[in-house]
């Protein structure tokens, strides 16, 4: 039995080849959203593997199904388009041994064409820099997450009402509960470049509405300022959608729509 467990979110798997494709060398729980309901407990090369096959949609729900059943000291969050590097288990265990007071450690993910923020040294992740990280870079002490009742928001992410942000809200909840988060430069997996995003369809109005709603759920007090800084900081990236002010207004419109919806729901 391994001390490290990989929690994989995937869809429509017809066999168990994903474990080898991802180079998973530890125990794992695979959340497989498909057209049947079943649970399979397997042993693959001395690894304890559980497949959760459920007729459901939504990446947050998928991750939570695995998270609530996680039972190893350390867990990694994964998508099915990753390939773990040889020896990743030792790297993860060594970092948690070094940072004994860390509840969450954020690693690097290798990309052929890098688009994600790269940790170049070890540092503490706080409120001013937590939003730069996606879920698949996260490793955590399972007891800390379970004890503090931290899960993924079911309203955000691929297949959910709001298209992205479940990983940001997860880290936000970690900070709100006082968990210590450390970023480190080690690469634990490489991202495959052979599939399109399941949720990103360009910088549409919905993209910015959803981003405004995400910021509102991070902080009702500071949501407008978060929208403003994002619109200005990424004005070059968003230029196809208009100038920074028009982008900002779309985010604010998303917040207003969300607040009206909350009032209507009572």
Whether the CB-CB separation of 65 and 59 falls below 8 Å is answered with no
Q: Taking Cα atoms as reference points, which of 76, 80, 64, 75 lies closest to residue 22?
A: 80
Looking at residue 151, its pLDDT comes to 97
- pLDDT tens across 39-95, in order? 999 999 999 999 999 999 999 999 999 999 999 999 999 999 999 999 999 999 999
199: in domain: no
Whether the CB-CB separation of 242 and 205 falls below 8 Å is answered with no
98: in domain: yes
230: in domain: yes
Count up the domains in the chain and report the number.
Answer: 2
Domain extent, residue 131, equals 4-191
- pLDDT tens across 238-253, in order? 999 999 999 999 999 9
179 shares a domain with 128: yes
Single pTM value for the model? 0.93
97 shares a domain with 125: yes
73: in domain: yes
Q: Can you tell me which residue has the tokens 């207003």?
A: 256
182 shares a domain with 213: no
230 shares a domain with 167: no
Q: Which string of DSSP letters, residue by residue, matches 185-222?
A: EEEEEEE--SS--SS--SS-HHHHHHHHHHHHHH-TTT
Q: Which residue, of 132, 164, 191, is where some domain finishes?
A: 191
248: in domain: yes
211 shares a domain with 187: no
């Amino acid at each position: 039995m391994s001390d490290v467990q990989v929690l994989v979110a995937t869809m429509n798997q017809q066999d168990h080849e994903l474990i080898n494709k991802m180079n998973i060398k530890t125990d794992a729980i695979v959340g497989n959203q498909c057209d049947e309901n079943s649970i399979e407990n397997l042993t693959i090369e001395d690894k304890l593997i559980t497949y959760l096959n459920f007729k459901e949609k939504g990446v947050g729900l998928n991750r939570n199904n695995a998270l609530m059943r996680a039972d190893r000291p350390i867990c990694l969050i994964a998508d099915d388009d990753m390939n773990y590097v040889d020896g990743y288990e030792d790297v993860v265990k060594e970092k948690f041994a070094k940072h004994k007071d860390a509840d969450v450690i954020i690693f690097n993910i290798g990309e052929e064409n890098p688009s994600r923020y790269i940790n170049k040294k070890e540092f503490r992740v706080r409120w001013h820099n937590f939003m730069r990280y996606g879920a698949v870079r996260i490793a955590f002490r399972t007891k800390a997450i379970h004890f503090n009742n931290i899960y993924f928001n079911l309203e955000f992410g691929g297949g959910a009402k709001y298209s992205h942000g479940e990983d940001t809200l997860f880290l936000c909840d970690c900070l709100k509960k006082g968990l210590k988060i450390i970023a480190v430069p080690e690469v634990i997996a490489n991202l495959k470049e052979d599939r399109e995003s399941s949720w990103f369809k360009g910088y549409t109005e919905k993209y910015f509405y959803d981003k405004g709603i995400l910021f509102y759920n991070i902080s009702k007090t500071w949501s407008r300022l978060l929208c403003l800084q994002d619109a200005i900081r990424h004005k070059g990236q968003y230029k196809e959608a208009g100038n920074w002010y028009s982008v900002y207004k779309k985010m604010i419109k998303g917040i207003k729509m969300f607040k009206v919806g909350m009032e209507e729901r009572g």
